[in-house]
Structure 1
Amino acid sequence: MTQAIEATGLVKDFGATRAVDGIDLSVPAGTIYGVLGPNGAGKTTTLRMLLGIIDPDAGHRTLLGESVPLRAAHLVGYLPEERGLYPAMTPREAIAFMGALRGLPLAEGRRRADDLLDAHDLGHAARKPIRTLSKGMAQTVQLLGTLVHRPRLIVLDEPFSGLDALNQGRLEALIRAQAADGVTVLFSTHVIAHAERLCERIAIIAGGRVRFEGAVEEARGRLRPQVRLGTRAADGAWCAALPAGTLLEGGVWRFELPDDGIEPLLKALIAGGAGIDTLSIERPGLHDAFVAIAGEAVARDMAKPAPAEVAA
């Protein structure tokens, strides 16, 4: 199996509102795949259809080779956007319980829970009520519960929401470790930086539609590298050699890298006495690509915190 998930033409309506409007996705097995989009873009609805939690009104999907996704549920670890643990339970029992829901015997679940908690510096809290843990610790416990049965596919819905920088870093490390073991990781996020650091492939979703699907490098490759040039001379005949569309911002010239490279331009600038002080060529980031693909309005929506983050 080369594709962990395949979806074609997924549509979902809630009353008169179309939440998902013909989404196609293809998630290669063993990759880290990100679904990017602002809150309300249709990310959560899409994930739930892929997992078989809800059925699409139109379209088809396969999950780990199964046309009926729930048949593969025992091979999937799912962390929903709405977090929830029984506050009186201990982390050890909560993790074992979540494993049991996927068919793991309780005794084995407890053994694995002990190992997971120790590995993530939570062994000291293994037998404390979850209500006594910090938010980050409790979220880590729930995440470990999605991994305890050793799934082949992990689906995380806004997993970084509400976590501080330290716990975000730990989660990123955990995602990379799972992928290194051959596990497919699919996660949704409205924070572009997480996807840029982690993902091999992404889908950009806005308004219930896929605006882009493919490799991160392919998305970034839609924009030309940007050149930043500082010169000792403020102007002169050499300015005519600068490409069309060049901007002067804070004493620095900015323009797209010419099709024929930077060398011919440098020769013209040197010959014209521009006096080059600084020169840098910057590859566009995923944020720049996102703006180019989805538009500035969608990018502004992406920057808004999720309701849970506002409450936190």
Structure 2
Amino acid sequence: MRAVQITEFGGPEVLTQVELPSPTPEPGELLVEVSRAGVNFADTHQTENSYLTRTVLPVVPGGEVVGTTQDGRRVTGLTRGGGYAQFAIVPEVTAFDVPDSVDDLHALSMVAQGATAWLLLRRTAPMRRGETVVVHAAAGGVGTIAVQLARRWGAGRVIATASSEDKRRLALDLGADVALDSTTEDMAAALKDANDGRGVDVVLDMTGGPTTDASIEALGPFGRLAFYGMANRTEPTPVQLVRLMAKSRTVAGLWLQHAFRLPDRPVHRAVAELFELVAAGELRAVAGGDYALSEVRRAHEDLLARRTTGKLLLDPNR
């Protein structure tokens, strides 16, 4: 089968197309003929060996796929790696049947980015009706869905941040009330100004570094920040507990993998609800590019250079 493999760590240049044997599923696993794989920021961390878990070489990257099983089921799900290939293994526990009314773009968008946005707003930093929600990287895969969900679930104000005028316009089209330039020098002041001088209630942050520091500063009493990524590769300033106590602030983290271990199955509830919204035309994924497998390096380059919006797809058959 055609696949992309990493044999050394580095940037997009280490992604190499190769021919490999198709994987063999174990009990509790599905062999999926991949129609599309998702491309995520986590994949760029994996090529550098800078993600939450360490990577053992050689490896086929790719954490999510959509396709068809050997018995004809159309499924999407999270892999344990190996998604950038014509065939991939998906554990049954992280697999979801895809309704006919949901296309590949939306299937992949909802199983990872959509479920993440749902969990951030429902569980990690639960949003209450009427509250102000800040969505950083609002034109990205999680951000575009989070803006729509926050608006749908009754946010009093949705403040988006993005790096270009086109991305900010997209965030406004999706339901944001205000769209700020993410390169603003004093982000804490900008967020408060956009909220009529008051501290904000919820911040969804996948950026890290100074953006996180400013966002914590912008939280009002009982404000919550949910941290779910580190796109700029810079660690935030260590959080001082006294700063949290001073305004009863909360800072929390989310890694989607952990949610699959919970007995109430929140990811399955999230994906089912999101698929229903997609089928009803009430939630949409933003297409960020459909790349051939042979263009995988360009996909990573575009993602790292912030040239993309929404969800990036990889076609293993091209």
How high is the TM-score relative to the length of structure 1?
A: 0.27
* Higher RCO by CA contacts (8 Å cutoff, separation 6 or greater): 1
Relative to its length, the structure with more helix (as a share) is 1
